[in-house]
């Protein structure tokens, strides 16, 4: 999609398109007011600005729009609208061994039990063992530290998806 095409979307189409990049309703509503945008840099700057203005509740809402890392069934079923992007983002887990996927399942459960939301990491370019290591390390964080780290990871994911949107 070109920037011109993105700027020309109807409000409903724009909302749907933005929701594939970040699922936080407050972020989408703030972003809608930015259109038309002049260029990719302006789009990315607005996305970051509005993401940082969002509340912790908004961040948690965005996290619910992601499949769990390593949960390929969830990726295919629940997240069909973003499955193509998410599967490429999680490409490092496609060939992961059963042992690694079982470790993800255990780590994901520990993470959710501790923090109350799924493990969020910008998975693009990371192998399954690398992501598992990151998960294991982040389990050591306090809830106050972790929500900020997860928020920054979501920001990276959103920026990548916006860039992919414009290159599609």
Residues recognised as catalytic: 66
Helix (H) / strand (E) containing 70: none
3-state class (DSSP) for residue 40: helix
Percent helix, strand, coil in the chain, to 5, is 70, 0, 30
Name, in order, each residue with C-beta under 8 angstroms of 25's C-beta and a sequence gap of 6 or more.
58, 61
């Amino acid at each position: 999609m070109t920037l011109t095409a993105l700027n020309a979307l109807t409000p409903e189409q724009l909302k749907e398109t933005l929701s594939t990049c970040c699922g936080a309703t407050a972020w989408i509503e703030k972003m809608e007011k930015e259109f038309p945008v002049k260029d990719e840099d302006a789009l990315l700057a607005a996305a970051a600005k509005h993401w940082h203005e969002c509340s912790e509740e908004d961040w948690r809402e965005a996290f619910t729009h992601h499949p769990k890392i390593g949960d390929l069934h969830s990726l295919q079923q629940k997240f069909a609208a973003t499955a193509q992007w998410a599967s490429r983002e999680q490409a490092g887990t496609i060939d992961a061994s059963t042992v690694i996927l079982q470790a993800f399942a255990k780590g994901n459960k520990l993470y959710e039990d501790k923090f109350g939301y799924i493990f969020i990491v910008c998975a693009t370019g990371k192998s399954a063992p690398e992501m598992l290591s990151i998960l294991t390390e982040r389990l050591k964080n306090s809830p106050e530290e972790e929500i900020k780290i997860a928020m920054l990871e979501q920001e990276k994911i959103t920026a990548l998806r916006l860039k992919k949107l414009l290159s599609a």
